[in-house]
Amino acid sequence: MSESGETPNNYKKLAFLSSGTSEADGARARLVAKYGEVAPEEADCIVALGGDGLMLRTLHRFMGAGKPIYGMNRGSVGFLMNEYRESALRKRIAESKPSIIHPLLMRATNTHGDEFAAHAINEVSLLRQSSQIAKLRILVNGQERLPELITDGVLVATPAGSTAYNLSANGPILPLDAPLMALTPISAFRPRRWRGALLPDAAKVRLEVLEADKRPVSVVADHDEFRDALQVDVEMDHRTDLILLHDAGHSLEERILREQFGY
């Protein structure tokens, strides 16, 4: 045992990130005083203090770095976060369960011919950007699956993101380890009864905007928005691993399972 009463482990060097609220900043100050800190680039683990928004920003910031992220809730929702406690932090992290998730990779072209690319941990969504309803064409692996979807929008969600915007749009909750993506319409007008589709996570989805000048559409990858989209390609980026750590008995997989039973 160490002098602090914690079991020695591989998480000696910690970095603490705050969402910037007074509550999160205060928690960060106390934890740094108790455990010390190093720069995030040198850390064995990054501790995020805030809500789900901070967790998403932290995962984006360190995407590709291979660093585990352990969140503690100092925000409002906190679905991705652990309970906030200051004691025995390194022991909690060492005993936590890792969840490996993959982000979506979005590539888009707008009506001016500009090209954009971004990752999304939760979802890539196409949304009408005016009073005009959107008209979209959907292709999967190069084959047309829906020639015309008249809708407020549509989204492609990961299993980790299936409990976020996707669930609010009446999309399915996906188990974390399911090799699937959810394709979910947002207030679809026609086909009126189309509820979306479950796709293999190896699928390549193309979303084409019809009548783009008259019916402008924006594309959003988590928090990155691009206006006047014309064509959007979405696929799962299996080359990028993101590591979330959760306390034993409260893993992300367990939380998603609980959501399916309404508690």
CATH assignment at residue 205: 2.60.200.30
Residue ranges for the known binding site for NAD(+) are: 52-53, 57, 122-123, 152, 160, 163-168
Indicate if 88 and 161 belong to the same structural domain.
no
pLDDT interval class at 14 (50, 70, 90): very high
Indicate if 245 and 207 belong to the same structural domain.
no
Indicate if 224 and 109 belong to the same structural domain.
yes
pLDDT at 6 over 70: no
Q: Hey, what amino acid is at 170? A: N
Residue 202 and residue 177 in contact, taking contact as beta carbons nearer than 8 Å? no
Residue 209 lies in a domain: yes
Residues 61-92: tens digit of each pLDDT = 999 899 999 999 998 777 889 999 999 999 99
- Domains: count for the chain: 2
Annotation marks residue 52 as catalytic: yes
Indicate if 178 and 67 belong to the same structural domain.
no
Residue 68 and residue 43 in contact, taking contact as beta carbons nearer than 8 Å? no
Indicate if 116 and 216 belong to the same structural domain.
yes
CA 21 from chain centre, in angstroms, equals 21
Instruction: State the DSSP string of 36-88.
Output: ----GGG-SEEEEEE-HHHHHHHHHHTTTS---EEEEE-SS--TT-BPP--TT
Q: What is the pLDDT of residue 7?
A: 45
Weakest mean pLDDT among 19-28, 34-43, 245-254: 245-254
CATH assignment at residue 62: 3.40.50.10330
- Number of C-alpha atoms within 13 angstroms, CB side, residue 221? 21
Residue 4 lies in a domain: no
- How confident is the model over 169-179, as a mean pLDDT? 92
Name the residue among 218, 217, 170, 225 with its Cα closest to residue 193: 170
Indicate if 175 and 57 belong to the same structural domain.
no
For 80, 85, 121, the CA distances from 163, given in Å and listed in that order, are: 11, 25, 12
> What average pLDDT is seen over the chain?
93
Q: What is the pLDDT of residue 101?
A: 93
Indicate if 228 and 113 belong to the same structural domain.
yes
Residue 155 and residue 221 in contact, taking contact as beta carbons nearer than 8 Å? no
Residue ranges for the known binding site are: 52-53, 57, 122-123, 152, 160, 163-168
Q: CA-to-CA distance for 70 and 83, rounded, in angstroms?
A: 11
pTM (predicted TM-score): 0.89
Residues 56-67: tens digit of each pLDDT = 999 999 998 999
Query: Of the listed 44, 52, 114, 228, which one is catalytic?
Result: 52
- How confident is the model over 200-218, as a mean pLDDT? 98
What residue numbers bound the domain in which 224 lies?
104-236
